[in-house]
Amino acid sequence: MTVELSDVRCLAVLGLRRSGRPAALLARRELAGVRVVALDEGDAPPKDAVAELRAAGVEVLCGADALLPEGADLLVKSPGVPDESRAVQEALRRGVTLWSEVEIATRFLPNRVLGITGTNGKTTTTELAGAIFRDAGLPVAVGGNVGYALAGMPGEIAADAAVVAELSSFQLEHIERFRPDVAVLLNLSADHIDRHGTYRGYADAKLRIFENQADGDVALLCADDQGIRGELAAGRIGGGGRRRWFSSAPGREEGPGGEPLVAGVSTGGELWLDAGGARRPLCRAADLALRGEHNLQNSLAAAAACCALGVPPESAAGTLRTFGGVPHRLQVAGVVGGVTYVNDSKATNVDATLKALTAYSGPVHLILGGYDKGAAYDGLAAATEGSVRQVLLIGATAPELEAAFAARRAAGAPRATPWVVCGDLEAAVILAAREAAPGDVVLLSPACASWDQYRDYEQRGEHFLELVKRMRGADAS
């Protein structure tokens, strides 16, 4: 069921944290005469959020009182709230329209939007795109699933600023008219099965980024990704945007089906971009500040997307040479005793960890484990063979991971990777430090979410950084 904002008389917002609070304030400010009710089903919502909302005239209902109001026409759901929520289930039962925060935010944003999604690389590509705009001296606002909630942007950012938005499957599953001027799909592999139930549900949510695009919009996709190519072959990539491709395969000229490639890599290793029908060199792959094959793809995607919105290619090239990445994604925590410690806590799924392993050619001590999102680990266990010296298992998924590595050994894999169950991150770091030799890499790239032992991946990464900092201090004393 759909609804026009002009017809809404009672709007509810579910979730009072980073997305929900600005969404409720936006609705209260922009929708005159509309009753706005903020709901939080948790027992301890942020006190500052409750106070701010009530001061603005928003009704706030928490805990057991957080029931969908009678007469609600629209429920705006924060991305962290699952569909099993009591209020969501009641909305579905009544036929109340359900929107994501992205949907209501962009109803009040006249700005051009560059939307970026995919299983992995979203944050890096989003922040890189923001840096490209800033370095070019062009106004930009970066947000969505990272940093600034989109609902906080209307009235706060300049009308000519480009909005670069990282978009998760949770944010895209309840859009209605959201239409990015440029939509980027980096890759597709299994993730968040615990939330979506099946890979099909997850992939369908991701693909919604294209569905409302029309002539003049750009749909930018990775030609190298097997998941994306499979969706294309099955006819599931819709929308009316101009479909364009990027590829990190040296010498590749076209995307699937002969469709245009707008960004690629020459056989000599130079990144290039098609700008108005003319191929423009960017920089050599070896000159990129970001490491790893996946970051070569992220760099091409960011450059092509930004240039589609008017950034000069030469300016984008300069940023590619200097942008060093984001916290918790292949972040060097320090070197202790000749051993490099790398924080890749943001690798919360198997594919992200596989991509991280491509960044290192020397012996790796890999820390794996955390909260189970329904992934299979057999392929990961096989992929570590020959490049990973040992795996250190932590968190709730340690038994499942151990079973995957044990199966490889039982099957007689000649280079089966040895593993140790450590329990927690501190124990894993201590063991890795004891056994690593100069030139080795200790890589925290868990392939799992953090919610079993940490609030989020940032807290897990900060703990790793603190552990390495302590070792550096001891090493210097």
- pLDDT tens profile 367-381: 999 998 888 999 999
Sign (positive/negative) of CA torsion 309, 313, 317, 319? negative
Residue 476 burial class via C-beta count within 10 angstroms: exposed 0-12, middle 13-18, buried 19 and up:
exposed
Spatial separation of the C-alpha atoms in residues 62 and 54, rounded to whole Å: 12
Judged against a pLDDT cut of 80, whether residue 45 lies above it is answered with no
What's the whole-number mean pLDDT along residues 452-471?
95
Judged against a pLDDT cut of 90, whether residue 3 lies above it is answered with no
Spatial separation of the C-alpha atoms in residues 24 and 99, rounded to whole Å: 13
> Which range in 43-57, 355-369, 387-401 is most confidently predicted, on average pLDDT?
387-401
Here the tokens at position 328 are 């918790």
Q: Please state the separation of Cα 172 from the chain's center in Å.
A: 12
Here the tokens at position 10 are 């009672």
Spatial separation of the C-alpha atoms in residues 327 and 402, rounded to whole Å: 28
Q: Give SS3 for 217.
A: coil
Predicted local confidence at residue 1, as pLDDT: 66
Spatial separation of the C-alpha atoms in residues 283 and 260, rounded to whole Å: 21
pLDDT, mean over the chain = 93
Residue 462's pLDDT band, with cuts at 50, 70 and 90, is: very high
Predicted local confidence at residue 473, as pLDDT: 79
**463 included as an active-site residue:** no
Question: Hey, what CATH topology would domain 7-103 get?
Answer: Rossmann fold (3.40.50)
Spatial separation of the C-alpha atoms in residues 323 and 212, rounded to whole Å: 32
The CATH code for residues 109-322 is: 3.40.1190.10
Provide the 8-state DSSP code for 467.
Answer: H
By DSSP bridging, strand 140-144 and strand 388-394 are unpaired
- CB contact set of 254 (below 8 Å; sequence gap of 6+): 223, 245, 260, 261
Give the Å distances, CA to CA, from 459 to 403, 431, 450: 27, 21, 9
What's the whole-number mean pLDDT along residues 50-63?
95
Buried b (16+ CB within 10 A) or exposed e, 292-307: bebbbbbbbbbbbbbb
From edge to edge, which strands make up the β-sheet containing 419-423? Answer: 331-336, 339-343, 441-444, 364-368, 388-394, 419-423
What's the whole-number mean pLDDT along residues 341-360?
90
Here the tokens at position 122 are 């979203």
Count the Cβ atoms, other than its own, within 10 Å of residue 64: 9
The pLDDT tens digits for 417-457 are: 999 999 999 999 999 999 999 989 999 999 999 999 999 99
Q: Where in the chain is the domain with CATH 3.90.190.20?
A: 331-472
Q: Where in the chain is the domain with CATH 3.40.1190.10?
A: 109-322
What's the whole-number mean pLDDT along residues 181-210?
92
Spatial separation of the C-alpha atoms in residues 120 and 355, rounded to whole Å: 9
Does pTM top 0.85 for this prediction? no
> Considering only 97-106, 254-263, 392-401, which range has the smallest mean pLDDT?
254-263
Predicted local confidence at residue 24, as pLDDT: 97
Spatial separation of the C-alpha atoms in residues 377 and 94, rounded to whole Å: 40
Q: What's the chain's Rg over C-alpha atoms?
A: 23
Judged against a pLDDT cut of 70, whether residue 477 lies above it is answered with no
Here the tokens at position 470 are 């302590």
User: Choosing from 122, 206, 328, 365, which is the catalytic residue?
Assistant: 122
Residue 468's pLDDT band, with cuts at 50, 70 and 90, is: very high
The pLDDT tens digits for 314-334 are: 999 999 999 988 888 888 899
User: Choosing from 145, 187, 298, 343, which is the catalytic residue?
Assistant: 145
What's the whole-number mean pLDDT along residues 167-186?
96
Judged against a pLDDT cut of 70, whether residue 476 lies above it is answered with no
Predicted local confidence at residue 118, as pLDDT: 96
Here the tokens at position 327 are 């916290």
Pick 224 or 1 by higher pLDDT. 224
- DSSP state string for 395-464: STTHHHHHHHHHHHHHTT-TTPPPEEEEESHHHHHHHHHHH--TT-EEEE--SSBSTTTSSSHHHHHHHH
Residue 192's pLDDT band, with cuts at 50, 70 and 90, is: confident
Specify the amino acid at residue 143.
Answer: G
User: Choosing from 174, 192, 206, 373, which is the catalytic residue?
Assistant: 192
Predicted local confidence at residue 397, as pLDDT: 96
Residue 2's pLDDT band, with cuts at 50, 70 and 90, is: confident
The pLDDT tens digits for 376-398 are: 999 999 999 988 999 999 999 99
The pLDDT tens digits for 109-146 are: 999 999 999 999 999 999 999 999 999 999 999 999 88
Spatial separation of the C-alpha atoms in residues 451 and 439, rounded to whole Å: 32
**192 included as an active-site residue:** yes
What's the whole-number mean pLDDT along residues 192-217?
93
Specify the amino acid at residue 314.
Answer: E
What's the whole-number mean pLDDT along residues 2-13?
94
Predicted local confidence at residue 430, as pLDDT: 96
Class of domain 331-472: alpha beta
Here the tokens at position 12 are 């509810």
Contact at 8 Å (CB) between 20 and 45?
no
Contact at 8 Å (CB) between 190 and 123?
no
Predicted local confidence at residue 475, as pLDDT: 64
**206 included as an active-site residue:** no
Spatial separation of the C-alpha atoms in residues 189 and 350, rounded to whole Å: 9
Give the Å distances, CA to CA, from 477 to 276, 333, 409, 431, 471: 58, 18, 42, 21, 10
Percent of the chain with pLDDT over 90: 81
Predicted local confidence at residue 257, as pLDDT: 87
What's the whole-number mean pLDDT along residues 181-201?
91
